[in-house]
Structure 1
Amino acid sequence: MNKIQQIFNGHWAINAQDYHQLISLIMPSIKAGNIEAVEKSLSTKITAYATMPYIADRWELDDASLPQGSIVVLTAEGILYSWDTYRLEQFIRQAISNSNIAGIVLFVNGPGGMILRVDLLEKLIRESPKPIAAYITGCCASAHYWFTSACGRIFVSSPMDEIGSVGIVYTYESFKKYYETLGIIMEDIYPDGADLKNKMIREMEDNNNPQLIKDKLSFYHNLFRQAISRNLNIPMDPQLPLFRGETFFADVAIANGYIDQMGTLDDAITWVLAQSTNRSF
């Protein structure tokens, strides 16, 4: 149930159509009371395996018998939930701590997701003592682009791949009319001394005024833009489409310095190995 609450109450950096598609998929199960099915659909999509040239297998990342000079490939596919972000953090920390691991490649295909802990993940990647590259195939947007921008090298697989969508969104949902159709009247009552509690939502619910919500979203959006500006070494111009939520095809993203180059997963692994070798001298 906690995961479902986060879906409706969380702040998101995600393409709008992906969020609304998610809601359309889980609502029938919620209305039917099948909460267990919803929880299962929100299972993590983060996996890991260690690889050497021509060798790939799954390992526990703290395994001391893992081959020396291994490269860890972490997949981040589909909508990014906060519990996925935390697990990805843990994988990266394990890889950094294992002396047999030379570096990390993030295999990314995602439209974004919850922003909770994404700033911490971005910082972890940016400050990693081991090289981290990203390999994008399909989409790297919103929250996925936030943390991917911190990688030392960003590879993209196809001209059709899409990158960007630097922006925050909050979807306001009111269930009052729905409850009324069920014959349920819900009224929140606050003591006089708690007049500011839930003020943001109350302003929207009672006065159809989204300004307080926008103010809060602006705070998150500025953090997002600052991270992108720092990681890409691009001045933060609020008029630049990059910082206004635009999405770009791979060739445009490369030409503007939003990613580095076309390549394959092997290219990303080779780059990490080379960087690891350079750092060892």
Structure 2
Amino acid sequence: MKQELSAVISAIRSQPWAILPDYLAAIEAIALRAFDSDVLERLAKDGHAMQVQHSLEAVAALGTRLDGSEMSMVRNGVAVVPLVGAIYPRSNMVSASSGGTSLDTVMRDMRVAWASSDVERIVMLIDSPGGVVSGLGEAAEMLRAGPKPMTSFVTGMAASAAYWLGSQAGDMVLDRAASVGSIGVVASMSRQEAVDADGRRSYEIVSSGAPFKRPDPSTEEGRASIQRDVDAIEGVFVGDVAAGRRVPEGVVREQFGKGAMVFAGEAVRVGMADRIGTLEGVLSQGSGSNRTKVVGGRSRASAEIETRRRAAQ
């Protein structure tokens, strides 16, 4: 049993994350069903879980289900696509247990909204601590080049991976109590230091030509290898934020929190977001403040195919 639990943790730690530290620890605890973990108690006290539930309820009450979508609503020509909870590349057992969201589902709903004749503009409703980095670069490019005006509205937090995506909108609006940031990437891993409690010890033999396939964080060389990887991903993260917010990368690195969360007023002041507002105000506003985009034939055809496929399901 202990080996199975170790395998679950190893799978979670096998890829970099762009997420707040306590939430990564909580995901590991949920995966192990370790509900007596201190981190789960801390997160229960911070009120974010309740805020996430309120966000989901708010989306459900906004209008009618967007035809062909899985979780998005539409009202008066405005589609609301939720990005709520920890972000995973695809739906899985851990995402379901932790109240997370699937990046794959979010982007499918986006393509449906882009293709729908009932949708004039899109609001991405965000309340997320971040998530797995896999797929975020491609998703950010797609959002940045989307064919319809898009506003990101942050109702609670847009941390790390969530800010990576939300910053691609032409207009980013924050609730007055919201926070954004945590720009950076973390790699979490462990190495066996002693014999397992059941008397077994695990070994890994890596082929001679692949010394960095399993870098050892207990060595200087191993840590340097891991550092290069997370720094490279951070470079993509910073580049996308800079492109989305239309500022130089140096501004992102020096003024956008340096990995910390930044509250609404300060975030607007330094350019991490455009303004403070309300969801109702965002839903009722015109689209003039957003960037106008034109979609090519291939993108529109792809979106229409996705709409028909989702509607058939």
1:197 to 196, 210, 218: 210
- Residue identity over aligned pairs, in percent, reads 19
Deviation of 1:204 (Å): 2.5
1:226 to 228, 239, 246: 239
**8 Å Cα contact 1:203/1:210 also seen in 2:** yes
What corresponds to 1:14 in structure 2? 19
What corresponds to 2:229 in structure 1? 216
TM-score between both structures, scaled by the size of structure 2: 0.71
What SS does the aligned partner of 1:9 have?
coil
Deviation of 1:67 (Å): 8.2
What corresponds to 1:180 in structure 2? 196
Per-residue CA deviations over 1:226-279 (Å, capped at 9, x if unaligned) read 111122122222761426312211000011111011111122223355569x88
What corresponds to 2:188 in structure 1? 171
What corresponds to 1:153 in structure 2? 171
**8 Å Cα contact 1:105/1:272 also seen in 2:** no
What corresponds to 1:76 in structure 2? 83
**8 Å Cα contact 1:71/1:103 also seen in 2:** yes
Deviation of 1:10 (Å): 1.9
2:114 to 96, 100, 118: 96
What corresponds to 1:162 in structure 2? 179
Cα distance change of structure 1 residues 234 and 72 upon mapping to structure 2, 3 Å threshold: same
Superposed CA RMSD in Å reads: 3.4
For the pair 1:23 / 2:28, whether they are aligned, the reply is: yes
**8 Å Cα contact 1:236/1:243 also seen in 2:** no
Per-residue CA deviations over 1:13-70 (Å, capped at 9, x if unaligned) read 011121112222332459xxxxxxxxxxxxxx9979999xx9712232369xx98952
Instruction: Report the residue type matching 2:278 in the other structure.
Output: T
Alpha-carbon distance in 1 for matches of 2:178, 2:249:
24
Q: Which consecutive segments of 4 or more residues in structure 1 shift more than 3 A?
A: 1-6, 45-51, 66-69, 205-209, 271-276
For the pair 1:245 / 2:297, whether they are aligned, the reply is: no
Structure 1 residues not aligned, in runs of 5+: 31-44
**8 Å Cα contact 2:183/2:259 also seen in 1:** yes
**8 Å Cα contact 2:170/2:244 also seen in 1:** no
What SS does the aligned partner of 1:180 have?
coil
Alpha-carbon distance in 2 for matches of 1:25, 1:167:
23
Structure 2 residues not aligned, in runs of 5+: 36-52, 91-101, 295-313
**8 Å Cα contact 1:200/1:212 also seen in 2:** no
What corresponds to 1:61 in structure 2? 68
Per-residue CA deviations over 1:112-147 (Å, capped at 9, x if unaligned) read 110111111111111011111111011111000001
Q: How many residues of Structure 1 are paired with residues of Structure 2 in the alignment?
A: 256
